[in-house]
Amino acid sequence: MGASVHLDVFEASNTVGGRTQFFHYENQTYELGASILHEQNQYFRDYADKLAKEDGAPTQRAAMRDGGPAAVYDGRRFVFNESDWTVVNLYNIMRRYGLSYFWLRSAPRSMLQRYLRLYELEREGRAYETPEALLGAVGLHKATQRSLRAELKARVGVGKGAQRLAAELVAGINHVQYNQGNDINAFAGMVSLLPTIDGRLFRLEKGNARLPAALLGASGANVTRARVTEIARQRDGTFSLSLRPGGRSAADEAEEVVGGYAAVVLATPLERSGGLCLKGVGPAPRERRFQRTVTTFVRGRLDPAYFGVARLPAEYILTAEGAGTPFSVISRLRTFVDGSRLYKLFSAAPMADAQLAALFRNASRVAEHDWAAAYPVFGAPEGFAPFQLAEGLMYVSAWENAASAMEMAAVAARNCALLVQRHLHRLAGGAPASAPDPGAASN
């Protein structure tokens, strides 16, 4: 858009980056949220490489966990144990899940190939006013209109192996990625399964939160810590914002009004915006529900007795559908010289001290973060708010209930930037720089 565009960013919290939060422990950085990046996440991969180049060093990739096999626990026993030996692992998979496993291997990759088309469309400057149109342009909208459970039944049937695959492997992976089960929409399900099937994952050694902070710095934006309480469209088509300085939310705080904005981009879910009011822009989108996820880091040793075994088959433990455990997943991150280990747990509620004491020997709670809105609660059929809430007002989070990921946010942000570009071009008296494809949402 050129250097003539003045960009103001209003951030209600103490730090930028939303869910990309981290902490330091024993000279290492650990992600509290937004921890997964994939090598084919083109925007974030390129951002990471650019940041590394500016640092004068290669991109620092870090492992997602401390290696070792995985196991699936159903609340009574381990129903599947991964092997370090490929042949043994394949034999165990085929014996328990049959040919349905090959669908699990192929379906997420097929989805990825369609998703990669989005980058080409955005490079061409195409902008889409709705998630339905953007997803439809690459043939992915229909996947948001049916559940993963229904997709599994249609693709792999209801045989014993297929039922086990759905209840154990698929549900276990969904618990890892979204802390939800198989009733999520099929597109979110494919996004959830992809990191396990195509494990080209990485995170930044010094924390993924460096990326949004660095990008914001490179944009030349004027960043102000303030909570936006109202976005109002004026008669001349410009926008004014009502602010509470410092991000405070108390109702009796004095507000400041700033105006004259040609365009506004809302870069947070409306449901989590603290009651943000939209005036003069039509009805607000319907509210979505969000999934609570608590991330807990524990130092100690997993106790095999909790699982009813003498020796653990793995220290990366997924939970099957209906397991009834207080945790969704446990993963080992690091082994210390004293033999103790650092684990990361996901749960739907905070883990009580008694629960940790039952799970671990010599448990020590290192860190905890309670994400009240870690992800949307996915379902089917999904309905979406538009990316363009009004002429000049864009909404990045509109398609987060299709699937939630950092790269999904980046693709949506690029689309919103293209919509802003088109809007500014119109204000300047030019023809539209890009336009949605008619009928794209039919796919």
Asked whether residue 86 is assigned to any structural domain, the reply reads: no
Whether the Cβ atoms of residue 33 and residue 369 lie closer than 8 Å to each other? yes
Mean of per-residue pLDDT scores for the chain: 90
Question: How many domains would you assign to the chain?
Answer: 1
* pLDDT, tens digit (0-9, with 9 covering 90-100), for 111-158: 999 999 999 999 999 999 999 999 999 999 999 999 999 999 999 988
Q: Is residue 141 part of a domain?
A: no
Q: Is residue 391, in this structure, part of any structural domain at all?
A: yes
Q: Is the peptide bond before 381 cis (omega within 30 degrees of 0)?
A: yes
Cβ atoms of residues 75 and 323 within 8 Å = yes
Residue 181 lies in a domain: no
The count of residues in the chain is 443
Cα–Cα distance, 229 to 109 (Å, whole number): 42
Given the structure tokens 């559908």, which residue do they identify? 321
Lowest average pLDDT, out of 137-141, 244-248, 420-424, goes to: 244-248
Nearest in space to 367 (alpha carbons), one of 345, 396, 341, 394: 345
Q: CA 303: distance to chain centroid?
A: 31
- Strand 393-395's sheet: what is its strand order? 264-266, 393-395, 388-390
Model confidence pTM above 0.85: yes
Q: Is residue 117 part of a domain?
A: no
DSSP 147: B
Cα separation of 209 and 204, whole Å?
A: 9
Residue 436, pLDDT > 70, answer no
Q: Could you give the 3-state DSSP secondary structure of residue 25?
A: strand
Quote the CA–CA distance of 15 and 37 in Å, as a whole number. 21
Give the pLDDT confidence of 286-333 residue by residue, as tens digits.
899 999 999 999 999 999 999 999 999 999 999 999 999 999 999 999
Residue 47 inside a domain? The answer is: yes
Radius of gyration of the chain (CA): 23
Q: Render pLDDT for 363-375 as a digit per residue (tens, 0 to 9).
A: 999 999 999 999 9
Q: Which residue has the tokens 């620092």?
A: 60
For residues 353 and 368, the answer to whether their CB atoms sit within 8 Å is: no
The encoded tokens of residue 399 equal 């398609």
Residue 173 domain-assigned (yes or no): no
Separation of alpha carbons 355 and 360, rounded Å: 9
Closest CA to 406 of 18, 13, 14, 1: 18
Under the banding of pLDDT at 50, 70 and 90, the label for residue 246 is confident
Alpha helices of 201-313 — where are they, by DSSP H?
A: 210-219
Structure tokens, 158: 């209801």
**Residue reference for tokens 């999520």:** 184
Rounded (10°) angle between helices 100-123 and 406-427: 30
Give all strands (DSSP E) within 205-340, no chain letters. 222-233, 239-245, 256-261, 264-266, 277-279, 290-302, 316-319, 329-335
CATH label of the domain that carries residue 399: 3.50.50.60
> Residue 431: pLDDT band by 50, 70, 90 thresholds?
low
Domain hosting residue 429, numbered range? 8-61+204-289+378-442
* Amino acid code (one letter) for 277: C
pLDDT for 387 equals: 98
**Is 364 within the bounds of a domain?**
no
